[in-house]
Structure formats: structure tokens, C-alpha cells
Amino acid sequence: MDDPGLTSIERLKHIEEAISKIEKFCQDIDEQKFLEDEQVSSSVLYQFIVIGEAVRFVNPEILKKYPYAWHLPRSFRNYVAHEYFGINLKQVYKTVKDTLPEFKGIIQNIIESEANK
């Protein structure tokens, strides 16, 4: 159940923490290991659910200030949650390696900028 008492900054920090966990899980792991290790891939998928859920509850006025396709993390969360049987783990690994670093930078920038307001 959603906690209405959480602020947007707290939600953004949850996203940052989930990204850090994904980075930790995937540290020194190549694609083949990711595809073979169910614990790692399942852990990463869960953190993507956390990210998508947290983004959903960040104040949209905050997100509008930062150019990013904010529907993507929410859509990816829905994909993982509802298409669990058909997830393309190669694409998930590619997302971790190619997309997550930029997303992390955006989230950190928002936290730094918005926390001081």
C-alpha cells in the first residue's frame, strides 16, 4: 500500500537506492552471467519495479522541470509486473548497462536541486 506521507524527495531517494542496488547486483557481471543467474536477474527486476512505482508518486510538477521520458520507468515497471513470463532478460541487461547510468545522473540532479528548496 502506498504511504501518502512520503515526500517526492523521499521517493527520489528510494529510486536512487534501487539504482545503487542494481549497480551492486550487476557489478562485474557480464550478460551471460546475468542471463544464467536467476537470483541476480530477479533482484534487478524487483528494483525496477521499485523505481517505476516510486516515479509514479513523485510530484509531476517536479518531473516536468527535468527532461526525461518519465513514462518509461512506469511502463517498464508494468512490463516486469505483468509480463513476467515473457521478459527479455537481454534487454533488461542492456537497460542496466546503457540506460541506467544516465537515469541515475538525472535522479541525483533532481535530488540535489529540489532538496534545497
Total residue count of the chain as it appears in this document: 117
Task: Give the amino acid at 45.
Answer: L
> Which helix (DSSP H) or strand (DSSP E) does residue 16 occupy?
helix 8-26
DSSP structure class, residue 53: H
Q: Does the annotation mark 82 as catalytic?
A: yes
Short-list 73, 72, 103, 76, CA closest to 88: 76
Residue 14 designated active-site: no
From the list 14, 56, 71, 77, the catalytic residue is 77
Taking the CA atoms of 92, 105, 14 and 63 in sequence, report the sign of the dihedral they define.
negative
Active-site residues, by number, are: 77, 82
